[in-house]
């Protein structure tokens, strides 16, 4: 009853009743070696899930009870356990009964360790990595794969993991959490870093170097040719310094964007980066929401067990909110563009010129 | 006659036939557990408790008569589908033949006129 797949929402009393019923199920089938209690419990859970697929949540006790009545008392599902007592009648023989009893015991023994083998192995490899720390990355990957295999085996059998999940969670969670963070924010980090870099360069363009009308270069500090070249300032054929027009327009646009931010220059710069990152995040989540909406199996597979309950509706919700956020961001960006001035050469925030040296 | 005789006999007969019906429901197709249960529950008087079907499916699986496969469902979590294995198909054919033989025998005996 523990560690089962996430179920539909039930009221507390219905949840309690379901727990009792599943306990009855396990008790009824536990003595029958021909069946797998975990599998039957999983089947019953799926049955109940399907019954309430379109029901209003949370499901009440009365609604649940109606389904349980249709399922019937678990005690009546199975005959008395074969091997539990010598059957009476002319067909009975001690040898046949003994064979049945041995078969039953072997079945029980086989079923138990088999289901635990992979979880123990996964945890053992993980623990080895913790003890022998230099091996940790290798052990983590190996134990993660073993844990995924254990989950796949349990899923294939249709059984719940129960207490075994605690053996599987350490490697699974340790891999899934970074994957989750990378999936949610990964692409935004380089975008924000790129925006910060570009804005810093644009700021340098404004404050570090000036090409004088006579074609000489003045700079706030000694600068190398490469640093100057990187800002789009190059020497012309006549030996005079010139600034590439497209680079100038680009940097001026970025500077106007920064200048449109409130606060002093340092804060405005930080806000500009945050704003760019927010836009990238919203756009990325639109994509992410769309992907997970169309294929909810992807997050379930990649982020197991963190996203076991992920369904298409979660992806749809993420997509919808991200679209709203992105539209709002576009609105702000449009206003910002208006405030920054559309034309190159529009008045920008005055910046105190640094003392210049001539190159 | 014991007044419970008919009820007991009917119950035993249904239990015996339910296994045949579970296999027959899977003939030539794969179904998930809930679907099997609802199809059989639609056969009047066959299924006393819907849960009865699941231990049979579990036993059949262990005996290699059916296979299971998890299939993604657009309506929620993945569903476990059952389908007959070659061994299950062979057993079903034999059970159907045996059932036909019994049914025909009963019909023949019931229709037989005394000379």
Q: In chain B, which residue's Cα lies nearest the Cα of A79?
A: B15
How far apart CA A261 and CA A101 sit, in angstroms, is 81
**Model pLDDT, residue B100:** 93
User: Is 60 exceeded by the pLDDT of residue A218?
Assistant: yes
A157 vs A279, which has greater pLDDT?
A279
The shortest C-alpha distance from B110 to chain A (Å) reads 29
User: Is 90 exceeded by the pLDDT of residue A201?
Assistant: no
Confidence of residue A207 (pLDDT cuts 50, 70, 90): confident
Determine whether the interchain pair B63/A42 forms a contact, defined as Cβ–Cβ distance below 8 Å: no
A70 and A48 in contact (C-beta within 8 Å)?
no
**Model pLDDT, residue A93:** 59
Least confident of A78-82, A318-322, B4-8: A78-82
Phi and psi, residue A88, nearest 5°:
-85, 160
Confidence of residue B105 (pLDDT cuts 50, 70, 90): very high
**Model pLDDT, residue A10:** 86
A155 and B70 in contact (C-beta within 8 Å)?
yes
**Model pLDDT, residue B92:** 94
A158 and B67 in contact (C-beta within 8 Å)?
no
Nearest CB among A74, A76, A312 relative to B74 is that of A312
| Cis omega (within 30 of 0) for bond into A58 | yes
B92 vs A93, which has greater pLDDT?
B92
Phi and psi, residue A233, nearest 5°:
-100, 120
User: Is 80 exceeded by the pLDDT of residue B40?
Assistant: yes
Nearest to A47 by CA among A24, A30, A67, A63: A67
A161 vs A348, which has greater pLDDT?
A161
Q: Is residue B3 less than 8 Å (CB to CB) from chain A? A: no
For chain B, the maximum distance between any two Cα atoms, rounded to a whole number of angstroms, is 65
Question: CA-CA distances (angstroms) from residue A23 to A19, A30, A62?
Answer: 6, 10, 19
Confidence of residue A83 (pLDDT cuts 50, 70, 90): very low
What's the mean pLDDT in B42-63?
86
Nearest to A151 by CA among A119, A126, A127, A174: A119
pLDDT in tens, A27-42: 888 778 788 888 888 8
Determine whether the interchain pair B50/A47 forms a contact, defined as Cβ–Cβ distance below 8 Å: yes
C-alpha R_g of chain B: 17
Residues of chain B in contact with residue A311, where contact means CB-CB under 8 angstroms, are 76-77
The shortest C-alpha distance from A35 to chain B (Å) reads 5
**Model pLDDT, residue A291:** 92
Percent of chain B with pLDDT over 90: 47
**Model pLDDT, residue A221:** 66
Determine whether the interchain pair A40/B70 forms a contact, defined as Cβ–Cβ distance below 8 Å: no
Confidence of residue A101 (pLDDT cuts 50, 70, 90): low
**Model pLDDT, residue A121:** 86
What is the CB neighbour count within 10 angstroms for residue B93? 12
How far apart CA A14 and CA A18 sit, in angstroms, is 6
Determine whether the interchain pair A43/B54 forms a contact, defined as Cβ–Cβ distance below 8 Å: yes
Tokens of A319: 């997509």
What's the mean pLDDT in A62-71?
90
Percent of chain A with pLDDT over 90: 12
Choose, out of A21, A34, A309, the residue to mutate when testing the contact with B (most B CBs < 10 Å): A34
Residues of chain A in contact with residue B74, where contact means CB-CB under 8 angstroms, are 312
Q: From the DSSP assignment, how many helices (H) and strands (E) are in chain A?
A: 12, 5
What's the mean pLDDT in B46-56?
86
C-alpha R_g of chain A: 34
Q: In chain B, which residue's Cα lies nearest the Cα of A34?
A: B59
Determine whether the interchain pair B58/A42 forms a contact, defined as Cβ–Cβ distance below 8 Å: no
Confidence of residue A2 (pLDDT cuts 50, 70, 90): very low
User: Is 60 exceeded by the pLDDT of residue A244?
Assistant: yes
User: Is 90 exceeded by the pLDDT of residue A131?
Assistant: no
Choose, out of B41, B48, B55, the residue to mutate when testing the contact with A (most A CBs < 10 Å): B55
A40 vs B72, which has greater pLDDT?
A40
Q: Model's pTM, two decimal places?
A: 0.47
A344 vs A263, which has greater pLDDT?
A263
3-state secondary structure of A302: helix
Confidence of residue B98 (pLDDT cuts 50, 70, 90): very high
Residues of chain A in contact with residue B79, where contact means CB-CB under 8 angstroms, are 46, 50
What's the mean pLDDT in A168-192?
88
Phi and psi, residue A349, nearest 5°:
-60, 130
How far apart CA B114 and CA A236 sit, in angstroms, is 124
How far apart CA A253 and CA A128 sit, in angstroms, is 56
DSSP A342: S
């Amino acid at each position: 009853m523990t560690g089962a797949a996430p179920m539909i929402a039930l009221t507390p009393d219905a949840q309690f009743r379901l727990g009792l019923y599943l306990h009855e199920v396990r008790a009824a089938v536990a003595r029958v070696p021909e069946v797998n209690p975990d599998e039957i419990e999983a089947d019953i859970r799926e049955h109940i899930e399907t019954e309430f697929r379109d029901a209003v949540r949370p499901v009440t006790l009365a609604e649940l009870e109606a389904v349980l009545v249709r399922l019937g008392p678990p005690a009546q599902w199975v005959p008395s356990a074969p091997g539990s007592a010598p059957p009476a009648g002319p067909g009975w023989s001690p040898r046949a009964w003994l064979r049945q009893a041995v078969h039953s015991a072997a079945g029980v023994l086989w079923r138990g360790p088999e289901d635990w083998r992979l979880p123990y192995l996964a945890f053992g490899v993980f623990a080895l990595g913790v003890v022998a720390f230099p091996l940790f990355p290798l052990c983590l990957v190996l134990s993660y794969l073993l844990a995924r295999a254990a989950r796949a085996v349990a899923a294939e059998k249709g059984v719940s993991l129960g207490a075994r999940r605690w053996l599987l969670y350490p490697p699974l969670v340790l891999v899934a959490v970074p994957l989750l963070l990378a999936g949610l924010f990964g692409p935004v980090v380089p975008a924000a870093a790129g925006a910060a870099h570009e804005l810093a360069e644009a700021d340098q363009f404004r404050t570090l170097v000036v090409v004088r009308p006579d074609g000489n270069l003045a700079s706030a500090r000694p600068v190398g040719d490469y640093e100057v070249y990187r800002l789009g300032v190059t020497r012309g054929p006549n030996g005079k310094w010139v600034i590439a027009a497209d680079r100038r327009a680009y940097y001026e646009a970025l500077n106007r964007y920064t200048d449109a931010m409130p606060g002093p220059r340092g804060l405005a710069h930080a806000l500009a980066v945050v704003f760019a990152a927010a836009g990238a995040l919203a756009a990325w989540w639109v994509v992410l929401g769309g992907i997970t909406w169309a294929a909810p199996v992807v997050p379930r597979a990649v982020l197991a067990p963190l996203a076991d309950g992920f369904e298409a509706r979660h992806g749809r919700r993420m997509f919808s909110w991200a679209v709203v956020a992105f539209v709002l961001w576009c609105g702000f960006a449009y206003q910002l563009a208006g405030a920054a001035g559309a034309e190159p050469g529009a008045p920008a925030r005055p910046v105190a010129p640094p003392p210049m040296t001539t190159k | 006659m014991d007044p419970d005789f008919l009820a007991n006999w009917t119950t035993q007969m249904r239990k015996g036939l339910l296994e045949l019906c579970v296999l027959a429901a899977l003939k030539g197709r794969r179904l998930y557990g809930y679907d099997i249960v609802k199809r059989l529950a639609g056969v009047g008087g066959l299924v006393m408790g819907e849960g009865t079907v699941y231990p049979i499916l579990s036993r059949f699986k262990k005996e290699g008569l059916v296979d299971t496969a998890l299939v993604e469902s657009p309506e929620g979590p993945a569903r476990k589908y059952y389908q007959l294995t070659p061994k299950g198909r062979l057993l079903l054919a034999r059970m159907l033949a045996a059932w036909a033989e019994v049914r025909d025998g009963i019909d023949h005996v019931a229709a037989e006129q005394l000379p």
